[in-house]
Amino acid sequence: MRKGAFIVFEGIDGSGKSSCMDEVASALLRERIKVIKTSEPTKGEIGAILRTSGNRTPEAEALLFTADRAVHTCEIVKWVESGKTVLCDRYYASTIAYQSASLNGRSADADWLTAINDEVIIEPDMTLLFDIDPELSMGRVESRGRRSRFERPEYLREVRNNYLRIAKLRNFKVIDASRPKEEVLEDVLRRVREITG
Ligand code: TYD
């Protein structure tokens, strides 16, 4: 059986990656491509811990996100090997970008984050980075009426810069997410089809 593909959607909160991923999934399903939508933090047991607000350091948080990913990666490998196209909302770049940004005045080391993640990941066939100015994305998040502890503009500026640095190193496709949503979708679909055919 032909192997599937693994495509990751990354970006700061409010960048539009999740709704774009839903639209891409629908478009591929219409073309009879077998799609699995998944996300991190996962709905599994470690993902559930991550959704609670505990007294954690950035390092502890990084280890939890990475542990969640280690389990998730096993599932992703199985899906891809059974011919599915896996669309994943966030993967290892989220940990490197977010946990190495200073949260509450502390940050985890980017080299360490990269090293622990490299042990548990598979390199996606494509990672799309939805790049947007946090001022703009924050407006979107606020209009949805929710704001997590990760959603402070000065923090997100650092996260954005980290993302752009990783994107260069790992060859991500940087998508200008400040454009109208239809334009972004068209751009993303064109790139996804380079892989799904
Ligand atoms: P998010 O994708 O916003 O999930 P939901 O839409 O269900 O709230 O992820 C939740 C937050 O977790 C988001 O602000 C980014 C953060 N996060 C990290 O800090 N590191 C990680 O490795 C991951 C996967 C997410």
pLDDT in tens, 63-95: 999 999 999 999 999 999 999 999 999 999 999
Which atom of ligand 1 lies at the shortest distance from residue 146's CA?
8
For residue 106, the model assigns a pLDDT of: 77
pLDDT at 2 > cutoff 80: no
CB atoms within 10 A of CB 145: 6
Mutation test of ligand 1: which of 90, 92, 147, 162 has the most ligand atoms closer than 8 Å to its C-beta?
90
Q: Whose CA is nearest to atom 11 of ligand 1?
A: 150
**pLDDT above 90 coverage of the chain, percent:** 82
Predicted TM-score (pTM) above 0.85: yes
For the stretch 27-37, pLDDT in tens is: 999 999 999 99
Q: Tell how far the Cα of 197 is from the centroid of ligand 1, in angstroms.
A: 30
For the stretch 115-167, pLDDT in tens is: 999 999 999 999 999 999 999 998 877 777 666 666 678 899 999 999 999 99
Q: Tell how far the Cα of 69 is from the centroid of ligand 1, in angstroms.
A: 12
Q: Tell how far the Cα of 41 is from the centroid of ligand 1, in angstroms.
A: 6
